[in-house]
Structure 1
């Protein structure tokens, strides 16, 4: 897919992978709108990037409706949606873990929010000569990490949704569905996970996302995720044990 002179929405674009991806897409000649909950942070990032911004909590249905109305009014050539916004809790399952409340927050941001946004934007995306939806899942989408248990659940759900959506839209639309599966990336959100010590720079993920879209690679692996994926399908039990070594 040609991703030049496109209008792109990046959720969670104020920092991390979203920011790096927005920056690269602008450098490649695209018009980018970033969204996020913190308007002050978002405005600062947009000014640095030369991007537009729309403050929006993607877990709030009313806020999403307002976002859609703004996009339809001011950016009716929008052709790429990048669902990057996410949240995760580092903990272990067990007595007193409060897993339900943590899972609810993770699913609201990591699963229900992109599902809602995709459905709401389909009419606009269908109007474009070519369009794409890019869902950021994770290497935990194909095998769980025990210290990110319900985050793994939510990303697995978005992975499944992405596959079903790709098959469904391939029959009667020009919308391509890409799934990005990063390994650990160094962002503000991954500090509790060792991101500063062991994570890849977000610019690496941005490059892989851009190259994956231009090459029509619907499964985009970042960092160690490609080898982890291959290991999992070669020997699931061994791969999961290796992935979680020393954590349980």
Structure 2
């Protein structure tokens, strides 16, 4: 990514990590279009920061197709898409009532959403001299949090999807970059904003920007705090990492979040 001149679309950027990165991309000189489901937030952010804004539901294929047409039409120079939108919801797999609806909604947003967004933008991105698809996985793709099974699995999917399409698109000008957040103090789940064990949002976003600027060819964007999870199997301490993660998690009774 060239943050001094890119045109970047970020679905899922009305709050949390998405908004923090949108602000920093814009400060560096990029043109930023943000998408989200909450129209009042979009209007406020457009007024306060000058973002381009679009209403999008990334669980709805028609919404994705319509927004892609709109964004490409108004910003033909678009050359980066950050697949930020996602949900994280606690589940109880002891009975179908405890997980089935949640699991299906998580797959629709976290798995089908990125697939459909890439499908909607890939031909346009391939036509640019250089372009970027940034996927967003999680440290939980590498070590599971017991209360969010489908979220963990959806982020493992995003990781392997990123690895695979990077190989396929190596003959194009499209770079595939995977952002791998640790727990960050956002509203993704109840209590996350006040979780002292989670990384402060501004600290995370600043470190991400530093990594993007100093390691422009990196396949993964890994802040130091996420390496405890990301490399557990490589280090050989996976079982201990999983034990620590689930012994200290304060969100066992959390319900839902969306970014």
TM-score by length of 1: 0.92
**Structure 2, unpaired ranges of 5+:** 253-259
The aligned counterpart of 1:189 is 188
Q: Is this contact kept in 1: 2:165–2:176, CA < 8 A? A: yes
The aligned counterpart of 2:255 is none
**Whole-angstrom CA distance in 1 between matches of 2:100 and 2:223:** 30
The aligned counterpart of 1:229 is 230
Q: Is this contact kept in 2: 1:180–1:222, CA < 8 A? A: no
| Greater shift in the superposed pair: 76-85 or 225-234 | 225-234
**Whole-angstrom CA distance in 2 between matches of 1:46 and 1:223:** 32
Matches within 5 A, 1:166-181: 166-170=166-170, 172-181=171-180
The offset of 1:238, in angstroms, is: 2.6
**Whole-angstrom CA distance in 2 between matches of 1:213 and 1:80:** 13
The offset of 1:202, in angstroms, is: 2.2
**Whole-angstrom CA distance in 1 between matches of 2:224 and 2:108:** 27
The aligned counterpart of 2:147 is 147
**Structure 1, unpaired ranges of 5+:** none
Q: Is this contact kept in 2: 1:91–1:97, CA < 8 A? A: no
Q: Deviations over 1:70-116 (max 9, x none)?
A: 12211111111111111111234323553121111111111110111
Q: Is this contact kept in 2: 1:136–1:181, CA < 8 A? A: yes
Q: Is this contact kept in 1: 2:17–2:201, CA < 8 A? A: yes
The aligned counterpart of 1:220 is 221
Matches within 5 A, 1:71-90: 71-90=71-90
**Matched pairs, number:** 246
**Whole-angstrom CA distance in 2 between matches of 1:190 and 1:24:** 23
The aligned counterpart of 1:207 is 206
Matches within 5 A, 1:1-248: 1-95=1-95, 98-170=98-170, 172-192=171-191, 194-198=192-196, 199-214=198-213, 215=215, 216-222=217-223, 224-235=225-236, 236-245=238-247
**Whole-angstrom CA distance in 2 between matches of 1:229 and 1:68:** 32
Q: Report the 3-state secondary structure (helix = DSSP H, G, I; strand = E; otherwise coil) of the residue aligned with 1:200.
A: coil
The aligned counterpart of 2:257 is none
**Whole-angstrom CA distance in 1 between matches of 2:104 and 2:96:** 16
Q: Is this contact kept in 2: 1:200–1:223, CA < 8 A? A: no
- Judged with a 3 Å threshold, the aligned counterparts in structure 2 of structure 1 residues 168 and 75 are, in CA distance, closer, same or farther, namely same
**Whole-angstrom CA distance in 1 between matches of 2:209 and 2:125:** 19
The offset of 1:210, in angstroms, is: 2.6
**Whole-angstrom CA distance in 1 between matches of 2:118 and 2:219:** 17
- Judged with a 3 Å threshold, the aligned counterparts in structure 2 of structure 1 residues 44 and 223 are, in CA distance, closer, same or farther, namely farther
